[in-house]
Structure 1
Amino acid sequence: MIQPPKPKARADKVSLWQYMRLFRRDILSAQPERLYRAWMAEFRTPFFRSYMVNDAEVIRAVLKERPQAFPKSGRVGSGLRPLLGNSVFLTNGAAWERQRRIIDPAFEGGRLRETFPSICQAAQDAAARFAGHAGREIDIEPETSHAAADVIFRTLFSIPIDHAVAHDVFEAFQTYQRSQPILNLAAFVPVPSWVPRGYRRETRASARRIRRLIHQLTLNRQAEIDAGSAPQDLATKIMTTPDPETGQRFDVEEMVDQVAIFFLAGHETSASALAWALYLLALFPDWQDRVTEEAQGADLADFSQMSKLKITRDVFRETLRLYPPVPMMVRETTQAETFRKRAIRPGAQVVISQWHLHRQNRMWERPDDFDPTRWETENGQACARDAYLPFSAGPRVCPGAGFAMIEGVMMLASILRDLRVELGSGPPPVPVAHLTVRSQSGIALRIVRR
């Protein structure tokens, strides 16, 4: 049976210096093959210990049962601060709790119905752009990035991506995404805050540009709110929601931080998932035909009919399993712990690798196969509870998880309703981790009208 591509694992033993170089270039191929079957693995540096865990009991304790004892690691967060500042993605403790109290109401169930027309319009426009490439072979990653960015700008600020500022943010983010490694010097060596972190000049420049543009959008929105003329989109909802405990709202600078992470989490991750989903459906055309048949039998402009797209939803879920956009999460121990009868010191890094957990060969049946039917099996349902974390879990679960699922299903259905994607002429794409799981050299597909 054909298996979707995955990176070639490195040799089991390499030096710390070799590992740092491999990790900086690509976090996925830097890992040994044994991690796909390990329950826990220890990684040592002269400065700290790191533990990758695939054990459901440990993961449950870290993410769900005692999350306060395992805050997000500052070692990883330091690499993203030039763009994300003190966004909800990086904060811990009381600051994070306050941010979530303000943000979460914007993503409650009823809001999905309100944002659906914007998602629908972006999906229709994406289908039209794909149709414009009919008869040609293209790299689909730029197209899926364009489509996902359009969704974010429409739902956040009620502007399409062809709006001048939205387009400038999108262009700057493409530069940032390719130049920003997941980790920098602080991930491996304890350094004082005043020591330069080794950010690339291109990364710093694109982060500053993105934040300037977002600041402009946020200032304009605040003026509209003050004048009573603001559209009722996600930005307005978040900026006008007071913290139920203090009554305070986000100021403009705080909102810039949050919009930056919404753009990263809502655009970059969705673009990654959509690109891999289209590739998988080109690789498995029988499943593509089933998605098309389902889309042609539904009114895609009607939110209530989204529940009919069950096959498409299972395809997208399977894509998120095989190619989770965020491949790893890192937490830090604040006290002595015991994992699998092993003593863990305070300050250790706890790595939960969705990439390895979703392919753990002692939990999943045929973990490297593309099989959307697995979600109906006993094994698939058990693993969905214990070994499937595309949006994290517990209190820090992504607030936009439901939003992302609707977007992914709607995009697939809209694009494939009247079009077919076929494998390109080049070699299979090789997954690598930049900010998200992307292809090393793009994903070439041929677009064909049905």
Structure 2
Amino acid sequence: MTCPVHPPKPPVRPDRVSLLRYLRLFRRDILSAQPARLYRAWMAEFKTPFFRSYLCNDPELINLVLKERPDDFPKSNRIREGLAPLLGNSVFVTNGETWKRQRRIIDPAFEGGRLRDTFPAMWEAGEAAAARLPHGEVEVEEQMSHAAADVIFRTLFTLPIEDQTAQAVFHEFRAYQRTQPILNLAAFLPLPRWFPRLHRRKTLASAKRIRALITAMTEARAKEIAEGKAPNDLATKIMTMVDPETGQTFSTEEMVDQVAIFFLAGHETSASALAWALYLLALYPEAQDRVAAEAAKLTETAEFSAMAQLKFTRDVFRETLRLYPPVPMMVRQNILHERFRARKLPPGAQIVLSPWHVHRHERLWEEPDAFDPDRWSRDENRASARDAYLPFSAGPRVCTGAGFAMVEGPLLLAQFLRRHRVERLDGLDPVPVAHLTVRAQNGIRLRVSQR
């Protein structure tokens, strides 16, 4: 089979388009709505009638916003507009003291040592997914969604995906993802608080059903905790964790908000990255064989020490996250007057940090569009790996589950490729688009066979 020079990349728009055309492109797919110059620019300004938006690819500016002065650059409320029906007041959308309190309760459950506790459940989900993967022509995004959902349910609620409630939540999340654009119209317009937020009816209905299902699971767990019968999983740890400053725990409603983002972040992003990783390994069979060779050394039981054997597999997953970061853009807003690269930014401007463009920036990476897992072991890439790689954000707001994801991704890849071989199908290379996460426009289809 022939192989393209580089993995697929979205088309780009012309440098100049009308505002209406830009908004239509942006709403349909945030990636192809951008001009090619953003892959080499340090900063760009976008003007609309209602606000100014500044995309920042300069590592110094990214460091300033995310690490040096994060309190001066809270998350933008424009992003919250589209996700509020599902996520409520979750840690993903809150700011200030509310966010800090939430992180004080959540973070201990995801500390390094706790990963060992969740590893057996993660292993079982991966083995089940590898056994379930069919042969022939397979749409692997759907399979990876199933696998990632199983990991979340087993580690969070000690429920396999076959559980009836888990199945219902999984299918509702798939429906929600198809109906929810990355930004709704309220993100573009300065609407008063009392004005309807212009969400699609299907989006609202799906979000309501998801939250009802999660509420039932959370209430059942609260009862088990009260009776001393709860399993020692992530849900129990988070629901019983006391904020050291206030002495409070999460209420049921607060826990529903957090479970919603755990599932969205832990399921959607992992599924996206795993599907793209399998496609890349189908595109580059030599890399796939190296992963399979590492995977062959795994034991038949869940031993956390096995992760140390998956060095190249981990680099494949890191490179996948560089080329196809599940969350392509992050938006902050400044509360003070700022000056970025000789530009004056008034308070309330939208500061866009784009992992998609930073990870493929022509001035920051050698051959930025190439799939090269070995780049992570070469000294000349250390600066870029440190300053221009942010698939999980950075600073105090770095994703709580980053460590979890970097165990889950390489482990499941190894479990799949220990049993199966994946091959590219001619003429069916996927086109990346951004919905809630970076997905393929028409799915990712591969040929799967027994190894």
TM-score range, shorter chain: over 0.9
Instruction: Tell me how far apart the structure 2 counterparts of residues 394 and 443 of structure 1 sit (CA, whole Å).
Output: 33
Q: Which residue matches 2:132? A: 129
Q: Which residue matches 1:449? A: 450
Cα pair 1:332 1:349 within 8 Å, conserved: yes
**Structure 1 length as normaliser, TM-score?**
0.98
Question: Which of these residues, 39, 46, 52, is aligned with residue 43 of structure 1?
Answer: 46
Question: Which of these residues, 8, 22, 27, is aligned with residue 24 of structure 1?
Answer: 27
Instruction: Tell me how far apart the structure 1 counterparts of residues 427 and 126 of structure 2 sit (CA, whole Å).
Output: 27
* 1:111-260 map, 5 Å: 111-130=114-133, 133-134=134-135, 136-260=136-260
Q: 1:379: Cα distance to partner?
A: 3.2
Residue 156 of structure 1 aligns with an amino acid whose one-letter code is: L
Number of equivalent positions: 447
Instruction: Tell me how far apart the structure 2 counterparts of residues 178 and 161 of structure 1 sit (CA, whole Å).
Output: 20
Instruction: Tell me how far apart the structure 2 counterparts of residues 76 and 194 of structure 1 sit (CA, whole Å).
Output: 18
Cα pair 1:329 1:353 within 8 Å, conserved: yes
Instruction: Tell me how far apart the structure 1 counterparts of residues 161 and 288 of structure 2 sit (CA, whole Å).
Output: 28
Q: 1:425: Cα distance to partner?
A: 4.2
Residue 118 of structure 2 aligns with an amino acid whose one-letter code is: T
SS at match of 1:390: coil
SS at match of 1:270: helix
Q: Which residue matches 2:359? A: 358
Instruction: Tell me how far apart the structure 2 counterparts of residues 6 and 175 of structure 1 sit (CA, whole Å).
Output: 26
Any idea what the Cα deviations from partners look like across 1:336-380, whole Å, max 9, x if unmatched?
001112111100000000000000001100000000011122332
Residue 310 of structure 1 aligns with an amino acid whose one-letter code is: K
Q: Which residue matches 2:66? A: 63
Any idea what the Cα deviations from partners look like across 1:213-255, whole Å, max 9, x if unmatched?
0000000000000000000000000000010001000010000
Q: Which residue matches 1:278? A: 278
* 1:351-390 map, 5 Å: 351-390=352-391
**Structure 2 length as normaliser, TM-score?**
0.98
Instruction: Tell me how far apart the structure 2 counterparts of residues 195 and 31 of structure 1 sit (CA, whole Å).
Output: 30
Q: 1:201: Cα distance to partner?
A: 1.0
Q: Which residue matches 1:431? A: 432
Q: Which residue matches 1:85? A: 88
Q: 1:426: Cα distance to partner?
A: 3.7
Residue 352 of structure 1 aligns with an amino acid whose one-letter code is: L
Cα pair 1:425 1:444 within 8 Å, conserved: no
Residue 251 of structure 1 aligns with an amino acid whose one-letter code is: S
Does residue 266 of the first structure (1) align with residue 266 of the second (2)?
yes
Instruction: Tell me how far apart the structure 1 counterparts of residues 31 and 73 of structure 2 sit (CA, whole Å).
Output: 23
SS at match of 2:210: helix
Residue 176 of structure 2 aligns with an amino acid whose one-letter code is: Y
Cα pair 1:364 1:379 within 8 Å, conserved: no
Q: Equivalent pairs: percent with the same residue?
A: 67
Instruction: Tell me how far apart the structure 2 counterparts of residues 251 and 373 of structure 1 sit (CA, whole Å).
Output: 46
Q: 1:299: Cα distance to partner?
A: 2.1
SS at match of 1:289: helix
Cα pair 1:269 1:436 within 8 Å, conserved: yes
Q: 1:186: Cα distance to partner?
A: 2.2
Instruction: Tell me how far apart the structure 1 counterparts of residues 384 and 73 of structure 2 sit (CA, whole Å).
Output: 23
SS at match of 1:146: helix
Q: 1:297: Cα distance to partner?
A: 1.6
Q: Which residue matches 1:96? A: 99
Residue 266 of structure 1 aligns with an amino acid whose one-letter code is: G
Residue 329 of structure 1 aligns with an amino acid whose one-letter code is: M
Any idea what the Cα deviations from partners look like across 1:384-435, whole Å, max 9, x if unmatched?
1110000000000001101001000110000000210011244210000000
Any idea what the Cα deviations from partners look like across 1:143-181, whole Å, max 9, x if unmatched?
000000000000000000110000000000000011100
Instruction: Tell me how far apart the structure 2 counterparts of residues 92 and 48 of structure 1 sit (CA, whole Å).
Output: 20
Residue 125 of structure 2 aligns with an amino acid whose one-letter code is: A
Instruction: Tell me how far apart the structure 1 counterparts of residues 323 and 358 of structure 2 sit (CA, whole Å).
Output: 10
- Pairwise CA RMSD: 0.8
Residue 258 of structure 1 aligns with an amino acid whose one-letter code is: Q
Residue 38 of structure 1 aligns with an amino acid whose one-letter code is: A
Q: Which moved more, 1:193-202 or 1:12-21?
A: 193-202
Does residue 348 of the first structure (1) align with residue 349 of the second (2)?
yes
SS at match of 2:82: coil
Cα pair 1:38 1:54 within 8 Å, conserved: yes
Q: 1:184: Cα distance to partner?
A: 1.2
Q: 1:79: Cα distance to partner?
A: 0.5
Instruction: Tell me how far apart the structure 2 counterparts of residues 112 and 264 of structure 1 sit (CA, whole Å).
Output: 19
SS at match of 1:78: helix
Instruction: Tell me how far apart the structure 1 counterparts of residues 121 and 180 of structure 2 sit (CA, whole Å).
Output: 30
Residue 380 of structure 2 aligns with an amino acid whose one-letter code is: N
Residue 303 of structure 2 aligns with an amino acid whose one-letter code is: D
